[in-house]
Amino acid sequence: MNLRELVSALNDFASPSLAESWDNVGLLVEPSPPHAVNTLLLTNDLTEEVMEEAVQKKADLVLSYHPPIFTPLKRVTWKTWKERLVVRALENRIGIYSPHTAYDAVPHGVNNWLTKGLGACTSVPLHPSTAPSSPAEGTHRVEFCADAQHLDAVLSKIKGIPEISCLTTLPARVEGEEQTRVSLTCSQKALLEVVALLSQNSLLYPKTEILLLQKPLLPHTGMGRLCTLSEPLSLSDVIQRVKAHLQLPHVRVALGAGRTLESPVKKAALCAGSGGSVLKGTEADLYLTGEMSHHDVLDAVANGVSVILCEHSNTERGFLSELRDTLAIHLQNKINIIVSDKDRDPLQVA
Identify the pLDDT of residue 177: 86
**Per-residue pLDDT tens listing for the chain (350 residues):** 999 999 999 999 999 999 999 999 999 999 999 999 999 999 999 999 999 999 999 999 999 999 999 999 999 999 999 999 999 999 999 999 999 999 999 999 999 999 999 999 999 999 999 887 655 568 899 999 988 888 999 999 999 999 998 899 999 888 888 899 999 999 889 999 999 999 988 878 787 999 988 778 898 999 999 999 999 999 999 999 999 999 999 999 999 999 999 999 999 999 999 999 999 999 999 999 999 999 999 999 999 999 999 999 999 999 999 999 999 999 999 999 999 999 999 998 88
Asked if 193 and 161 touch (Cβ cutoff 8 Å), the reply is yes
For residue 24, count other CB atoms closer than 10 A to its CB. Answer: 17
Per-residue pLDDT at 133: 61
Backbone angles phi, psi at 294, to 5 degrees: -55, -45
> 0.85 exceeded by the pTM?
no
What's the topology of domain 140-212? Answer: Alpha-Beta Plaits (3.30.70)
Chain centre distance of CA 338: 24
The residue among 253, 250, 280, 276 whose CA lies nearest residue 265 is: 253
Query: What are the φ/ψ torsions at residue 331 (nearest 5 degrees)?
Result: -95, 10
- How big is the CA angle at 315 (ends 293 and 328), to the nearest 5 degrees? 150
Strand order in the sheet with 164-174: 164-174, 177-186, 140-146, 209-212
Known binding residue 20? Answer is: no
The alpha-helical segments, DSSP class H, found in 256-314 are 276-279, 294-302
pLDDT score of 260? 98
CATH of 3-102, one of 3.10.180.10, 3.40.1390.30, 1.20.140.10, 3.40.50.300: 3.40.1390.30
Which residues of the chain form CATH 3.40.1390.30?
A: 3-102, 107-129+223-315
| Residues 6+ positions from 190 with CB-CB distance below 8 Å | 161, 162, 163, 164
Instruction: In whole angstroms, give the CA distance from residue 175 to residue 141.
Output: 23
For residue 206, the model assigns a pLDDT of: 82
Q: What is the pLDDT of residue 176?
A: 84
Q: Is 104 annotated as a binding residue?
A: yes
Helix (H, G, I), strand (E, B) or coil at 172: strand
pLDDT at position 162 is 92
Which CATH superfamily groups domain 107-129+223-315? NIF3 (NGG1p interacting factor 3)-like (3.40.1390.30)
